[in-house]
Amino acid sequence: MKISDSQKKELQNAIKGEVLIPGNDKYEESRQLWNAMFDKKPAIIIRCRNKKDIAHAVNFGRDNNLLIAVKSGGHNSAGTGSCDNGLMIDLSPMQNVEVDAENNIVKAEAGCLLSTIDAATQKYGLAVSSGMISHTGVGGLTLGGGFGWISRKHGFSIDNLLSAEVITAKGEIVTASASENPDLFWAIRGGGGNFGVISSFVFKAAKIGTEVLSGPIVKSFDDLKEYMQFHREFVRTLPDEMTINMVVRHAPPLPFIPEKYHGKLVLLLPFVWLGDPDEGQRIIQNVRDCTETIGDGSGMYPWAGWQTAFDELNSHGARNYWKSHHITDLSDGFIDAIIEYALKFPTTECEMFIPHMEGAPSRIDPAATAFPHRKTPFLLNIHTRWRDSSDDEKCLQWVNDFHKATEAFAKGVYVNFISNEGADRVKDAYTAPIWYRLTECKNKWDPDNLFRINQNITPSNHK
C-alpha cells in the first residue's frame, strides 16, 4: 500500500509520535531488526509515544486493511517485529520506567529494553525477573514467558506481572489484571502478542541488591560428556538461589580463558547465586572440581553489568535462526547428539544454550498462565548465527538436522525461541487444553486475526 501525503499528515496531526514512510529520516533506522535475515520494508511506521498513539495506529491499520507488526526491542528470532508493505507499530520511543521502591513495584512502558529497566530498578537494589540479554525488549520477552538468571528463585516475568495496559483490535484501551479482564490477563501471560498491543506492564520486583556472585566457569570440550553426566544430577539438587546454565560454543577471546583455547570448542558454565557469597562459593566449587577448569571468570559483579555479559555474542546485525526444545533429561543419547553436532558447527558464532529450569516456576499450576511447560528440567536453544547469506543453506541444514536428532529427548518448546516453523510448531508451545483456551480468548479479543504477525493463534473462524 502507498500512503498518501494527506493520510500521513492527518495521522501525524493526531499523534504525539512520528509517522515515517520510505524516504523519511529515521525510516531506515526504525525498520531495522536484530536478526539480519529480515530486511522488511513497511509501507508506514508509526513511532508511538503513548497509549493513545498506539490506539490511533491500531485503528489506522485496521481501517486500511494493513498487516500490523509490533516492535518492542525487535529482538525476535522470527523477525515478527516488522512486515513488508504493512504497518509497523514501533514502541521503542516508549521508555519510561516508574519504580515504587517502598512496595517493590515497577511500571515499564512496552518499548523498554531490559537495560533500561535495570538502570531504573538497580538504584533501589531491585530487579525485574526477565531475560539474559540486555538489549532485549521487555514486550515480546514478557508476553512469551520471560525467563532469566533470577527466575528459578523469583519466577518468570509473567509470574511477576501484576497488570498490563492493552490496546485491543478495536482500538480500545483496557487493563488486564487478576480483577479486570482476567481472561485477557491469563492469555497475555505466555500467549504472545496475539491479543492486543501492550502499552505498559506493571511488575512485582525482587530485592536482590546491586551485586551478585556470578560468572562463567569454562571447561574443555574434551570433558563435555563427563561434565554433563555430573551436571544433569547435580543441578537438580540445587536451591532456587542458584542458576547454572551450559553453553557449548567456540571460545571467545575473554581474558580469563587461556589464549590457546580461543576459537576452540569449550563448555561455558555461566551461573548466578542469589544469597550469601560464601555459601555460593561452596556450592559452585563442586562445578570447578568436576573435570578440569580451564578458565574462571566468576566473582562479585554489579547486577546491571552481569546482565550485559552476553550482549556482544548476541549483537545486532548477524543472521540468526533458532530452533528449540524443552528437554526431559540430559541422557547419554542427548549428550552424544550435543557432541556430534557441536563438532559440525557451521560457523564459529553458533552455540547450544542449555539452561536449567525448575525452581519457583515449576511449583506454579501449569494452567495458571498460558505457559504450561513448567515441569521440564532443561531447555535446548540451538542458536545458529552467521554473517553471509551464501551460508544460509548449510546453516539451516545443520540446525534442522540437529533439531530432528534431539526430538526424542524433547517435550514442547518455549514460544520465544521459535523461528518461522509453521502453525503446528506454535501449538507445541502449549498443551491441548491451554491451546483451546487461548483460541477462545483469540475469538473474543481478536476474532479477525488483526494481530497475526507473530507466533499466531488463529481464531476458530479462520483457516
> Is 310 a member of any domain?
yes
The pLDDT > 90 percentage for the chain reads 97
Q: Are residues 264 and 370 in the same domain?
A: yes
> Is 426 a member of any domain?
no
Domain's final residue, options 42, 68, 90: 90
Q: Number of structural domains, the chain?
A: 3
Q: Are residues 109 and 192 in the same domain?
A: yes
Q: Are residues 222 and 356 in the same domain?
A: yes
Q: Are residues 314 and 358 in the same domain?
A: yes
> Is 235 a member of any domain?
yes
**DSSP bridge partners of 164:** 176, 201
The Cα angle at residue 321 between residues 135 and 223, in degrees rounded to 5: 90
> Could you tell me where the DSSP H helices lie in 109-200?
114-121, 138-144, 151-154, 182-188
Domain's final residue, options 34, 63, 90: 90
CATH assignment at residue 202: 3.30.465.10
CATH assignment at residue 397: 3.40.462.20
Measured between alpha carbons, how far is 105 from 98 in angstroms, rounded to an integer?
8
Measured between alpha carbons, how far is 302 from 127 in angstroms, rounded to an integer?
12
Q: Are residues 69 and 174 in the same domain?
A: no
How is 418-429 classified by DSSP, letter by letter?
A: --S--HHHHHTT
Q: Are residues 31 and 130 in the same domain?
A: no
Q: Cβ(11)–Cβ(46) under 8 Å?
A: yes
Grid cell 483490535 is found at: 169
> Is 119 a member of any domain?
yes
* Residue-range definition of the domain harbouring residue 174: 97-208+439-445
**DSSP bridge partners of 325:** 380
Domain's final residue, options 41, 71, 90: 90
**Digits of tens for pLDDT over the chain (463 positions)?**
788 888 889 999 999 999 999 998 899 999 999 999 999 999 999 999 999 999 999 999 999 999 999 999 999 999 999 999 999 999 999 999 999 999 999 999 999 999 999 999 999 999 999 999 999 999 999 999 999 999 999 999 999 999 999 999 999 999 999 999 999 999 999 999 999 999 999 999 999 999 999 999 999 999 999 999 999 999 999 999 999 999 999 999 999 999 999 999 999 999 999 999 999 999 999 999 999 999 999 999 999 999 999 999 999 999 999 999 999 999 999 999 999 999 999 999 999 999 999 999 999 999 999 999 999 999 999 999 999 999 999 999 999 999 999 999 999 999 999 999 999 999 999 999 999 999 999 999 999 999 999 999 999 976 5
> Is 460 a member of any domain?
no
Q: Are residues 224 and 252 in the same domain?
A: yes
Q: Cβ(409)–Cβ(336) under 8 Å?
A: no
- pLDDT (0 to 100) of residue 25: 86
> Is 430 a member of any domain?
no
Q: Are residues 355 and 248 in the same domain?
A: yes
Grid cell 500490523 is found at: 68
* pLDDT tens per residue across span 229-246: 999 999 999 999 999 999
Grid cell 529427548 is found at: 409
Measured between alpha carbons, how far is 29 from 364 in angstroms, rounded to an integer?
41
**DSSP bridge partners of 319:** 386
> Is 433 a member of any domain?
no
> Is 425 a member of any domain?
no
The Cα angle at residue 341 between residues 335 and 421, in degrees rounded to 5: 100
Which is it for the CA torsion 359, 425, 400, 407, positive or negative? positive
- pLDDT (0 to 100) of residue 463: 54
Q: Are residues 247 and 112 in the same domain?
A: no
Q: Are residues 401 and 274 in the same domain?
A: yes
Q: Are residues 381 and 394 in the same domain?
A: yes
Q: Give 63's contacts (C-beta < 8 A, 6+ positions apart).
A: none
Q: Cβ(213)–Cβ(277) under 8 Å?
A: yes
Measured between alpha carbons, how far is 328 from 409 in angstroms, rounded to an integer?
6
pTM of the model: 0.96
Q: Give 435's contacts (C-beta < 8 A, 6+ positions apart).
A: 427, 457
Q: Are residues 264 and 378 in the same domain?
A: yes
